Structure 1
Amino acid sequence: MSIKESHFRGVDLNLLVTLAVLLRERSVSRAAAHLHLGQPAVSGALARLRELFDDPLLVRTARGMEPTERALELERRLMPALGDIETALLERREFDPPTSDRTFVVGMPDWVELWLAPALLARLDALAPRVRLAIVPTDPFRGTDMLELNEMDLGIGPFVRGPAWRRERALRTMGFRCIYGAAPLRAGQGLSLRDYLRFPHVLVSYRGAFDSAADAWLAERGQARDVRYSSARFASVPAILMGSPALATVPAVLAGQWCNSAGLRDAPSPVPMPEFTVMSVWTAARDSDAGLMWLMDLIAALAQGDAAT
């Protein structure tokens, strides 16, 4: 395919990136935040785009900024091209761990960070001492949106299924364990269903719920547990359990860590709990990103090996 260079005179590729973000965010202020620019700079870029395409592109309405038909057409035609350009740029990038000073943005639920981060940082210190990690919070339901909005380069967690453009790699399948501290159960004593129903529960729910698969199983049998506290974070659970006669059901690897570090006890759950798979997720446009693939391999080895447990 041949191109006419004269058609590109005065066109700044950054303007097209700004247009893509503006169309996605429908807000100058939000676009500025994602682009790490000031609002005046993004407003100026929008003015240049309007002149370039001889169209308002985004107009204010009672519902906020809405794209014109011309803007929607540009979005349909330009976005795939920008994706191809991004892929081409990443393909040319070499990655040398000992010398790289790259920063990776990795999304993890807090329990995955508690599980993997210590070993991961130790490996980075040894293999890539100048590489930096920015860990941002995510959960099973937000992985796809965060990738689409470029809020993370890589996600690690038990994500729900995503669209075809989202790549997935299974890292480890695991189950749950019940954990407790101040509950008056003797060391070595098994956790019976009677005990499970007798003690209050701490539940971790990303959506503020007070029930889970365990409660559905109990309801089918005409029983119910007493969930007293619901939180979106696992990090607070050990302190709560050390000061309260309560139970929590947590991923097995986390239970093992807390028994060692916080003096808690764990036991198999008397209520059947489904296993789940921790995976890494990224966009198809990053398939040729050598640095991201290196980091993903490193995390996979830790998740699957003894270093992570």
Structure 2
Amino acid sequence: MNDIYGRNLDLNLLRVFVVVAEAGSVTAAASRLYLTQPAVSAALRRLASTVGAPLFVRAGRGLALTTRGERLLASARPHLGALVEAALTPATFDPKTSERTVRLGLSDVNEALLLPPLLRILATEAPRMRLVVLPVQFRTVADALTTSAVDLAVTVADELPAGTRRLALLKGGFVCLFDPRHARVGKRLTLERYLEHEHIIVSYNGDLRGVVEDHFDVQRRVRVSVPTFQSIGALLDGSDLLATVPLMVARDILSLRPHLKTTAVPLPLGGTAMELLWRGAVEDDEAIRFIRERVVEVTKRLKLGD
């Protein structure tokens, strides 16, 4: 294939050739192509030189194809027609019949929150579409988008490559989650008591720093650092540990473990917007747009459920 592309053939010459063959004369072809007669004649000479054989001979006041020209016309015309049709015919997308696979990047929080309702929607509206879900977070999402590892992503993000589209979906603060049967936090959790307690933290770097350490000049007493939020509920259950988690995560954990409780974090820890991210290059991809719109629909339902 590289050898084919590397050959010195201007494909525009084939278009000129086909029009001349159909029109039967340089004059008529020049009119159809909005070119001068000398330009059309020069194009034919260049093509004949590249092919290595004459393609037309004089026939009265017009032109007739040589045997080599007949073969070239038979091969070139259907391919040129297909190329024009591909270029000018808009792509059609029907979610009911589409078998597209869309690669969706989700943080661990969003995999649990967004994926179940999203799959229920697809089961009804796009039963043959498939998702490949990959883990992303704020440190990895830029690379995942740049390399096309994912078509779109839902996570928090800082700086992103030029041309990245972003849409804020959810913004919520943080709460302190605990088991009131074992953790004694009092009616109002003070900063002093907060720092006295031992904590579970989520660290994407695999260290002892979490969101609090990243924003404030404090270091909590960390008992365990885990890479995702998925195990937080199980780890808190029956322990005296505290976990500082996004409000949406706490709500999801409490739906399964209603005996756990939340209280305000004694630090001004604002929430970072959860965003829907995609490359500008796929802005007009109807299948990816369909998934984007359904992700927005799901997040709106989550907001209504607050």
What is the TM-score of this pair, normalised by structure 1? 0.65
Counterpart of 2:114 in structure 1 is 116
Question: RCO greater where, 1 or 2, for CA within 8 Å and sep 6 or more?
Answer: 1
For 2:186 and 2:94, the matched residues in 1 are separated by 49
Q: 2:235 aligned with 1:240, yes or no? A: yes
Counterpart of 1:254 in structure 2 is 249
Two-structure CA RMSD over aligned residues (Å):
2.8
Whether contact under 8 Å (1:182, 1:243) holds in the other structure is no
Give the secondary-structure state (helix, strand or coil) at the position aligned to 2:199: strand
Give the secondary-structure state (helix, strand or coil) at the position aligned to 2:157: coil
For 1:149 and 1:308, the matched residues in 2 are separated by 35
Amino acid at match of 2:116: P
Quote the sequence identity (%): 30
CA pair 183-160 structure 1, distance change in 2 beyond 3 A: farther
Q: Offset of 1:6 from its aligned partner?
A: 8.6
Of 204, 207, 226, which aligns to 2:205?
207
Whether contact under 8 Å (1:182, 1:246) holds in the other structure is no
Give structure 1 regions of 4+ aligned residues with deviation exceeding 6 angstroms.
none
- Unpaired runs of 5+ in structure 2? 1-8, 15-85
For 2:170 and 2:305, the matched residues in 1 are separated by 11
CA pair 279-216 structure 1, distance change in 2 beyond 3 A: closer
Q: How does 1:172-191 map to 2 (within 5 A)?
A: 172-181=170-179, 184-185=182-183, 189-191=187-189
Give the secondary-structure state (helix, strand or coil) at the position aligned to 2:273: strand
Give the secondary-structure state (helix, strand or coil) at the position aligned to 2:266: coil
CA pair 249-200 structure 1, distance change in 2 beyond 3 A: same
Of 261, 273, 287, which aligns to 2:283?
287
Larger radius of gyration: 2
CA pair 213-134 structure 1, distance change in 2 beyond 3 A: closer
Counterpart of 1:304 in structure 2 is 300
Q: 2:11 aligned with 1:5, yes or no? A: yes
Of 267, 270, 277, which aligns to 2:266?
270
CA pair 197-186 structure 1, distance change in 2 beyond 3 A: closer
- Unpaired runs of 5+ in structure 1? 9-87
For 2:298 and 2:252, the matched residues in 1 are separated by 15
Counterpart of 1:194 in structure 2 is 192
Q: Offset of 1:187 from its aligned partner?
A: 10
Give the secondary-structure state (helix, strand or coil) at the position aligned to 2:104: strand
Q: 2:212 aligned with 1:231, yes or no? A: no
Whether contact under 8 Å (1:107, 1:137) holds in the other structure is yes
What is the TM-score of this pair, normalised by structure 2? 0.66
Q: Offset of 1:175 from its aligned partner?
A: 1.2
Whether contact under 8 Å (2:169, 2:276) holds in the other structure is yes
Whether contact under 8 Å (1:182, 1:242) holds in the other structure is no
